[in-house]
């Protein structure tokens, strides 16, 4: 549906296509913002409804995935700013919301990559999002700028700062600094 053929789709077909092609990516990205599976499910539904309602406004300027991702990111940020989230965060622990198999799995794998991924997920949101969108969603800096509505130069700076924070984390111990500089 990218590029030249997206104009052929009705809003129902567009949502169906987005669910099939990008549903998993969108949900994983949403999760990295809200860190809660139930909230991820709810926000994902909101995102699908917004895509359904706004389909007429998709003019093909950006790639479909970037456009859908932008809606998801904005919805996540709205949620993080909301009073409901602020109340929830006091009682909700990110570790408790993880995959139940994770602890056992981690014992087995206990790799540096897992440590660094965990460190990324604990970065402040603006640094976390550039790292997640780069590494987990394979988005280019230009696409991230488009999806987050942030200037490209800011994205580049945030990327550098994110790496710097990870290096600091490595200096504190727990992560092999080599892996960040690699």
Partner 1 sequence: MDHQQIKEAINRQIGEDPLFTDKDKERFYKNKPNRRQRFPAAPKIVTVLLAFFVLSGPFYTFIKTDWFEQPSSPTQEEKEPVEETPPAPDPDPEEPTHVKVEKLKEVITSIPSKSKVKVAIDRFHGVEVEFEQSTKTENGNEYHLLESYYVFDRHNETGDSSAYIGPMPPTKDDFKRGDVEISLKLDWIESESHNLLREATLLYLSEEGDLIEENYSRSAYHGKFIKVKNPNEPVVMDDLILRSIARSVGKEPDNITKRDLLYLEELTINASHLSGIYEVDEDIEYFKAMQSLFVLKLNQAIIPGELLKEVPYLDQATFIGPTVDDLSRVKEGLQTITYLNLINSSFRGTAEDILELKSLNIVRVDPAVVPNYEDLQFEGMDVRW
Q: Which residues bind partner 1 (CB under 8 A)?
A: 3-8, 10-11, 13, 15, 19, 23-24, 26-28, 31-32, 37, 40-41, 44-45, 48-49, 52-53, 56, 59-61, 98-99, 101-102, 105, 109, 111, 113-114, 116-118, 120-121, 132, 134-136, 138, 140-143, 155-156, 159-160, 163, 179-182
* d(C-alpha 152, C-alpha 146), whole Å: 8
Whole-angstrom Cα distance, residue 87 to residue 173? 32
In this complex, which beta carbon is closest to partner 1, that of residue 27 or of residue 85? 27
CB-hemisphere CA count at 13 Å for 74?
17
Around 124, how many Cα atoms within 13 Å sit in the side-chain half-sphere? 9
Nearest residue to 143 via CA among 66, 69, 32, 30:
66
* Nearer of residues 53 and 86 to partner 1, judged by Cβ: 53
Least Å from the CB of residue 179 to partner 1: 7
Q: How long is the chain?
A: 182
Structure tokens at 74: 């904005």
Q: How far is the CB of 27 from partner 1 (least distance, A)?
A: 4
Tell me whether residue 45 or residue 87 sits nearer to partner 1 (CB atom): 45
Judged by CB, which is closer to partner 1: 49, or 87? Answer: 49
What lies within 8 Å, CB to CB, of 45 at 6+ separation is none
Q: Smallest distance, Å, CB 78 to partner 1?
A: 19
Give the residue with the Cβ less far from partner 1, 32 or 148. 32
CB of 180 to partner 1, least distance (A): 6
53 near 14, Cβ under 8 Å? no
């Amino acid at each position: 549906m990218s590029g030249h053929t997206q104009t052929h789709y009705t809003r129902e077909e567009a949502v169906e296509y987005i669910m099939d092609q990008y549903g998993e990516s969108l949900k994983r990205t949403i999760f990295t913002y809200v860190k809660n599976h139930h909230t991820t499910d709810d926000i994902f539904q909101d995102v699908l409804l917004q895509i359904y309602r706004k389909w007429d406004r998709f003019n093909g300027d950006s790639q479909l995935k970037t456009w859908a991702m932008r809606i998801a990111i904005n919805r996540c940020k709205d949620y993080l700013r909301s009073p409901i989230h602020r109340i929830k965060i006091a009682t909700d622990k990110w570790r408790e919301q993880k995959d139940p198999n994770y602890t056992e799995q981690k014992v087995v794998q206990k790799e540096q990559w897992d440590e660094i991924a965990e460190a990324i997920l604990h970065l402040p949101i603006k640094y976390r999002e550039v790292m997640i969108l780069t590494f987990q969603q394979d988005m280019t800096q230009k696409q991230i700028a488009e999806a987050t509505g942030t200037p490209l130069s800011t994205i580049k700076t945030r990327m550098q700062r994110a790496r710097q924070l990870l290096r600091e984390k490595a200096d504190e111990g727990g992560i092999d600094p080599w892996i960040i500089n690699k």
